[in-house]
Chain A
Amino acid sequence: ETGVTQTPRHLVMGMTNKKSLKCEQHLGHNAMYWYKQSAKKPLELMFVYNFKEQTENNSVPSRFSPECPNSSHLFLHLHTLQPEDSALYLCASSQERWQTYEQYFGPGTRLTVT
Chain B
Amino acid sequence: DAKTTQPTSMDCAEGRAANLPCNHSTISGNEYVYWYRQIHSQGPQYIIHGLKNNETNEMASLIITEDRKSSTLILPHATLRDTAVYYCIVPRTTSGTYKYIFGTGTRLKVLA
Q: Using CB atoms and an 8 Å cutoff, list the residues of chain A in contact with chain B.
A: 2, 4, 35, 42-45, 48, 50, 55-56, 88, 90, 92, 97-100, 102-108, 110
Q: Using CB atoms and an 8 Å cutoff, list the residues of chain B in contact with chain A.
A: 31-32, 34, 41-46, 49, 91, 96-105
Say whether A108 contacts B41, CB under 8 Å. Answer: yes
Label chain B's interface by main secondary structure: loop
Number of A-B contacts (CB under 8 A): 56
Say whether B98 contacts A98, CB under 8 Å. Answer: yes
Say whether B100 contacts A108, CB under 8 Å. Answer: no
Q: CA A1 – CA B1 in complex, angstroms?
A: 32
Say whether A105 contacts B45, CB under 8 Å. Answer: yes
Say whether B99 contacts A110, CB under 8 Å. Answer: no
Tell me the minimal C-beta distance from B6 to chain A in angstroms.
11
Tell me the minimal C-beta distance from A12 to chain B in angstroms.
16
Say whether A100 contacts B41, CB under 8 Å. Answer: no
**Please, could you name 19 A-B residue pairs with CB atoms under 8 Å apart, sorted by A?**
A2-B45, A43-B44, A48-B97, A48-B99, A50-B97, A56-B97, A90-B44, A98-B97, A98-B98, A100-B31, A100-B34, A100-B98, A102-B46, A102-B49, A103-B100, A104-B46, A105-B43, A108-B43, A110-B41
